[in-house]
Amino acid sequence: MSMAEPESSNAPEPAAAQKAPARVEGVGTTPGHVGAGTPLAPQQGHELAAFAAGCFWGVEDTFRQVPGVVATAVGYTGGQTKNPTYETVCSHTTGHAEAVLVEFDPKRVSYETLLNVFFKNHNPTTLNRQGPDVGDQYRSAIFTFSAEQAAKAAAAKAREQTERKKTVVTLIEPVGLFWKAEEYHQQYDEKTGTHSCPLPLGLPDQAT
């Protein structure tokens, strides 16, 4: 399953988004009590992770299918402006990436496995592009919540590089403010019926 999905910068709110969406069973929609750039705090015993890998619709759908992921939301991070919107991010003036915030239970899934899922479900060698989607908001990036996560992300990137002929251009940087995206973007694949059932690549048998 590819994370990259066609997306128009002028995409209107889909009519299907007005209907009650079919949720992935047991996976929530408010990781870390995410809001408009507000402090993030996972539930006790849980941890947070954040990834950018192209259009956030498919990226979120991928991580919602990983056992041990307890909640996800899409949003904007890595930029310089406050209160970014979809339209301003698509104007390439804010510096934000389309990203997915993931809350997970480390007793059920490791951060290393999430990194493996991230790398195996997008092309980390294309700069500011995934498939037909071009722009800095579609960059490959890992936003870390601790020095430990940063070290593990760097190690995963190095391993991925050994498997590819082209340079892995994934950025690794500490997470900044995370701005939850507009509601119609949340769990978009589930709302529109494009949700993919097969489990993503990079699950435990491939994780290190």
The conformational region for residue 92 under phi > 0 = left, psi -120 to 50 = alpha, else beta, is left
HSE of 123 in the Cβ direction (CA atoms, 13 Å)? 15
Evaluate whether 33 touches 152 at the Cβ level (below 8 Å).
no
Active site residue 55: yes
How is 27-68 classified by DSSP, letter by letter? -BS-GGG--BSPPP-PPTT-EEEEEEESSHHHHHHHHHTSTT
Q: Which of 24, 48, 55, 181 is catalytic?
A: 55
Catalytic center residues: 55
